[in-house]
Structure formats: C-alpha cells, structure tokens
Amino acid sequence: MENYRASVMLCGGTGCMAGDSLKIKDAFTDELNKRGLSHEINVVITGCNGFCAQGPVMTVYPDDIFYEKVKVADVPLIIEEHFIKGRPVEKLMYKELAKKSAIPLMKDIPFFSLQVLRALRNKGLIDPEKIEEYIARDGYMAAAKALNEMTPEQVIDEMKRSGLRGRGGAGFPTGLKWELSAKVKGGEKFIICNGDEGDPGAFMDRSIMEGDPHVVLEGMLIGARAIGASKGYIYVRAEYPLAVQRLQIAIDQAKEFGLLGDNILGSGFNFDIEIYQGAGAFVCGEATALMRSIEGKRGMPRPKFWRSAVKGLWDKPTVLNNVETFANIPQIILNGASWYTSLGTEKSTGTKVFALSGAINNIGLIEVPMGIPLSKIIYDIGGGVPKGRKFKAVQLGGPSGGCIPESLIDTPVTFEDIVKTGAIIGSGGMVVMNDLNCMVSVSKFFLEFTTEESCGKCPPCRIGNTVLQDLLEKITKGEGEEGDIELIEDISHEIIKTSLCGLGQTSPNPVLTSIRYFRSEFEEHAGDKWCRTGVCKDLCTFYIEEEKCKACGACKRVCPQKAIIGEKKVPHRIDQSLCVQCRSCYTVCKFDSVKIGPRAMRDQLLEQWVSDSGKTVAMAGKEE
C-alpha cells in the first residue's frame, strides 16, 4: 500500500453524485497528475456523508477539513492552496467549522511565527526541576561532545567562528574572551555566570534561569572545559528566589548524575558550580564589581589595567559570561558554528532575546534573529501600541541605553546599528513609550536610578550624575533656565569620558539620546515651562477647547476633584482652582477637546474665572 500524505474523501452519495461529484473526482485526478502529486494525495469516493444539503461535500484527512458545495472549478484552487501551500480554502469550508477553527495556528500569529527559539528552545516545554526532561531535549549532549570528542582549542575555535557576542550588553566576542583566559598557562581558573540582571524592564535571564536552568550549567561546563576552569559561580540576585531555587535543584541533580563533580562523563575533567546570591546592587552586574562581591568585599569596580580573563576573581584568570550567552553555547557546540551564523548579520550573528514591555499589546519574552527591524518587533510581534495611542519611542538597553524615536523605527537590531542611534542593545530590555510619556521625565527616571545605584567610588559618576539629576529636577519643576540643556550635554560627555566603569560611562546615554531626538520637548520644559504630555504637573494647564467639546460628561465623571463644570449640551470647563493635573480628563476624552497648555495659562484662566464669577478662590494642589 502506498503512503499518502493526505486523503480526499469525496462523497459519492446520491445527492452529491447529482452535484457532479464524479466529475470532481476526475478533475482531482487530472490536476494531481498534472502537478505530480498523485502519489502523495489519495482521492476516495465514499458513501453518503449525510450532509446532502451542502453537497457535493468532501473531507480532507489528516487535517480534518470539511469542504462544502465544491465545484469542478474549485479543484485547482484546493490543490494549489491546501495541498501545495498548506492553507485550507476558507471560503469552501463548512461555515460552522470555519468558525470553530477560529483558534489560529502559531504560524498565523506574528508573535510566534517571527520568533526563532535558540536560547529559549526549551521555553515552556520542559519541567525545569527534572534533569531527565532537559536530557530528553538533547541536554548535556553538547557537553559530552566538548568533553570527549573535542579539544579545548576546538571548542574555542567553534565559539570564535560562531561569532557569538556577549548577550549581557557589551557584545564582546565570547570565543575571544575564552581564548584570552585559555592562553594563561596553569593554575586555578574560574568561570562565572552573570545572572545579576538589573535593568528596569529586563527579565530575559530570570526566565532562562527559572525555565531552563540546566542549559546555564551545561554552557558553563563547556566554557570551563575550554579555558580549563575547575570551579564556577553563578551570581544571581536574591530578588530572584525562584531562579535561585531552580538553579540549586539543577546543580544538585547534575551532581547526582555525575554531570558536575569529578571525572565528568568519564572524560577525567572535574568541575563544580556554586550559587552566589547578590544583594541586588545594580553595579554588581559590572564584571569587576561582581568578582569583588564574590570575594566577600564591597561590590565596587576596579580600573581595568588588566582583563579579568587574565586576572579576575582572587586574581585568577576568570571568564564571566551572561546567562543568555551560556544558553546559546550548547546549541553552537552541538550544531556547529555555521549553523549558528545562518541567522543574523555578519557582525551580529544568531538570535537575541528581548523583554518587551511598556505601552505595547503583547508584553512578553521574545527571541528574534539579529538584524530584524525594530518596527517588526514592535508592530508585528508586539502587536503595536494599545488603546489607539501613538508610538513615541522605544527604550533599549535600560539605564545604559537610550530612546529610539519613530523616525528610526526601521533600524535593524544589531549591535552596530543600535549603537549608531545612541542607544545600545544592552541585555535586551525593550520598553515601548506612547504619546503620554514625557521624555524629560523618562530621562529623569533613569538618572535617578543610576544616581541611586552609583557605587560612589569615582567622582564623575557619583557627583556628575547627581548634578545631572538636579538639573532635570529643576527643569521639570519649572525652574529651567537658558543654557541648562547645553550644561546637561556638557556634563554628560565628561561623565562618559572620565567614569571608572560601564555604569558611569553609559549613565548619561538615556538623557543624551532623549535630547538628541526630542530636543524641542526639553526646550519647552526649560523655556516655555510647558510639558505637553501633562506628566510634569508644575508645567501644565489642562483646559477644554469649547468648540470641540460635545458635553458628553465623560471627563466630569472621572475627575477626582469635581473640578469640571458643565451641563448637558453646554461645553464643559475646568475649574483651575480645583484641578490637580491628574490627566484623567485628558485620557478619557474621545473628542480631543481636553488640551494641555503651558503653566502660565493657568493664571490667565483663573483670572478670567474670577472676573466671570466675581469670587475669590483658593488654589488646590501644591503651590510654591
């Protein structure tokens, strides 16, 4: 018997025969022959299907698709669409059934179809607390290969050829880092996994450590073999309790299986891993500060006269890679460097995981080939900006990155192209902002974060960022002066040039890119005392444009201050003495009649209000 990949069960009952089902069968046979598919698709005439009213009817197996009222003329279409392209012909499907298949397939939803899972290949598929399930998905096969079939040099060579660059943010080539360390002869060496994920809006590494902890261990094991390390540390913040717990379970299981410990898989290689919990200081994500933290000292970076790969933890050669970097390694060893470079661009190979959040429909974790345009991530995978609001910018790279505006939305996501915009890929946090976000406030938020997290060792970062923050605070309070923006730029460049570590060297990036792309917004804040988004409460006046107001009462209902006055059919008005600039009326108005003006308008409107009503009023809200 032949093996057909599909069968067409064409109804040969009286009703359908009267509807020419035999001619339809001939048409199928002819067309299939013509296209050379006759050995793949089987056409069978069946007894009465029972659904004579919709005849001629047919069912396609194994898809279980039911077509009704099929005509001879439909046959080429069915073969072309269904059997060649794999798309059932909806217009011929039984309507009720067509409705039933309302649940789309993954290939039809861009959120899934545009993703390629490599680092996340076990995402949601395995039980992270069972080593066997990891093994069942080829787990530890790469380690077995690296330990028994490859020399350390071959492993490093494979990594170098794969072009894999550090996924923690800096993008340093992993193979090169390993090679530097491997070249140091003799003595103890260490390998560290950096799981101190700290960027606001980033949760890629947490998800990998929680969902697939063994891939991190296997990546470390391969790295340890390549450089000749006998001990590894996973530095993970204590705020990730589930990650810590699952990593510990994974380590215990790997030890029990002999995949960690002495003479791993009979190779004579010994390696052990220990978890070190960080207290959540952002600076401890910096390699040298992290190593000091493991040494039991205060987490502060050191000047980089020498590389950690040569002299790191306890002054021994130490390789530090990020969680996602390690998650990529087993697949590279197993499938080879050329497999890895089949995706991505020449200088940014493979895939990258991003955490999508902010003003976007599909918040979540995605993995995409490098080189994909930002717009595809935001509109196709992310589903665009919700509630009909407008896209304004996307923040990449957290406190070290920057905001990319709409005009650059087609920028390909590669290390080089993103750096050109002033942002960085960073660890992969992607926060989408809409027209309700004030870019000055966003810059201030990130500076507050870095100022708070600065370790204080070097003055440019400690003092410089504080001064920057004060300047932004001043501008958002309505005390901005001419020259403030230029001063911010000047100080920023100095901080970048003179800071000791990556934290300080990148901390002005958010404010610098925001000024670069949204300079007018900064000028409005500093000069006109106007925050057009209404975020900076001291810089705005909410008022209703009477010609546009339909007097629907929506704003009146949401106002917590009862500051909106107006009857049905009478355009509404905001009592400025009661308004606290909460923005509720602005976001609820469907007719675009609530406007945001500069602060000075408030006094004018208030005077007008007093002269109209002839009373004096006390002001609500903060007055300074």
Partner 1 sequence: MAKLTIDDLKKIKDNYKATMTVRDGGSRAKVTVHMGTCGITAGARKVMEALLDEISKNNITDTIVTTSGCAGFCSKEPMVTVELLGSSPVKYITMDEDKMRKVVKEHLLGGKIVEDCALVAGNESSY
Residues contributing to the site for partner 1 (CB under 8 A): 100, 102-107, 109, 111-113, 115-118, 120-129, 132-133, 135-136, 138-141, 144, 148, 203, 206-207, 210-212, 240, 242-243, 256-259, 263, 265-266, 362-366
Instruction: Report the residue number, 272 or 489, with the smaller CB distance to partner 1.
Output: 272
Contacts of 142 (CB under 8 A, 6+ apart): 218, 222, 329, 330, 331, 332, 333, 334
CB of 400: closest distance to partner 1 in angstroms?
Answer: 23
Quick count: other Cβ atoms within 10 Å of Cβ 563?
A: 20
CB of 335: closest distance to partner 1 in angstroms?
Answer: 9
Instruction: Report the residue number, 212 or 453, with the smaller CB distance to partner 1.
Output: 212
Q: Whose structure tokens read 């629907």?
A: 552
Instruction: Report the residue number, 105 or 570, with the smaller CB distance to partner 1.
Output: 105
Counting every residue written for the chain, the total comes to 624
Contacts of 234 (CB under 8 A, 6+ apart): 192, 193, 195, 216, 220, 247, 273, 274, 275, 276
CB of 218: closest distance to partner 1 in angstroms?
Answer: 11
CB of 164: closest distance to partner 1 in angstroms?
Answer: 16
Give kind and range of the element (H or E) at residue 470: helix 465-476
DSSP 114: T
Instruction: Report the residue number, 31 or 212, with the smaller CB distance to partner 1.
Output: 212
Cβ atoms 297, 278 nearer than 8 A: no
Give kind and range of the element (H or E) at residue 133: helix 131-136
Contacts of 329 (CB under 8 A, 6+ apart): 142, 159, 164, 174, 218, 219, 222, 223
Question: CA-to-CA distance for 553 and 549, rounded, in angstroms?
Answer: 10
Dihedral sign (CA 469, 472, 473, 474): positive
Separation in Å, CA 7 to CA 43, 65, 69, 376: 6, 11, 18, 38
CB of 326: closest distance to partner 1 in angstroms?
Answer: 16
DSSP 368: E
Instruction: Report the residue number, 112 or 609, with the smaller CB distance to partner 1.
Output: 112
Q: How would you label 191-205 residue by residue, b for 16+ Cβ within 10 Å and e otherwise?
A: bbbbbbbbbebbbbb
Instruction: Report the residue number, 222 or 564, with the smaller CB distance to partner 1.
Output: 222
What is the secondary structure of 507-541 as a DSSP string?
TTHHHHHHHHHHHHHHHIIIII---TTS-SGGG-E
Cβ atoms 29, 75 nearer than 8 A: no
DSSP 500: S
Q: Whose structure tokens read 């794969």?
A: 162
Instruction: Report the residue number, 121 or 556, with the smaller CB distance to partner 1.
Output: 121
Instruction: Report the residue number, 126 or 275, with the smaller CB distance to partner 1.
Output: 126
Cβ atoms 474, 467 nearer than 8 A: no
Instruction: Report the residue number, 45 or 265, with the smaller CB distance to partner 1.
Output: 265
Please work out, in degrees rounded to the nearest 5, the angle formed at the alpha carbon of residue 616 by the alpha carbons of 610 and 620: 95
Q: What SS3 state is found at 32?
A: helix
Instruction: Report the residue number, 95 or 519, with the smaller CB distance to partner 1.
Output: 95
Closest CA to 502 of 205, 283, 193: 283
CB of 598: closest distance to partner 1 in angstroms?
Answer: 36
Instruction: Report the residue number, 218 or 521, with the smaller CB distance to partner 1.
Output: 218
CB of 129: closest distance to partner 1 in angstroms?
Answer: 8
Q: What SS3 state is found at 192?
A: strand
Instruction: Report the residue number, 148 or 608, with the smaller CB distance to partner 1.
Output: 148
Question: CA-to-CA distance for 217 and 260, rounded, in angstroms?
Answer: 9
CB of 39: closest distance to partner 1 in angstroms?
Answer: 24
CB of 270: closest distance to partner 1 in angstroms?
Answer: 12
CB of 254: closest distance to partner 1 in angstroms?
Answer: 10
Instruction: Report the residue number, 115 or 584, with the smaller CB distance to partner 1.
Output: 115
Q: What SS3 state is found at 104?
A: coil
Cβ atoms 536, 428 nearer than 8 A: no
CB of 17: closest distance to partner 1 in angstroms?
Answer: 32
What is the secondary structure of 484-497 as a DSSP string?
HHHHHHHHHHHHHH
CB of 549: closest distance to partner 1 in angstroms?
Answer: 35
CB of 112: closest distance to partner 1 in angstroms?
Answer: 6
φ/ψ of 407, rounded to 5, equals -65, -20
Instruction: Report the residue number, 131 or 574, with the smaller CB distance to partner 1.
Output: 131
φ/ψ of 494, rounded to 5, equals -65, -45
Instruction: Report the residue number, 247 or 585, with the smaller CB distance to partner 1.
Output: 247
Helix 323-335 and helix 204-211, axial crossing angle in degrees, nearest 10: 60
CB of 367: closest distance to partner 1 in angstroms?
Answer: 8
CB of 542: closest distance to partner 1 in angstroms?
Answer: 30
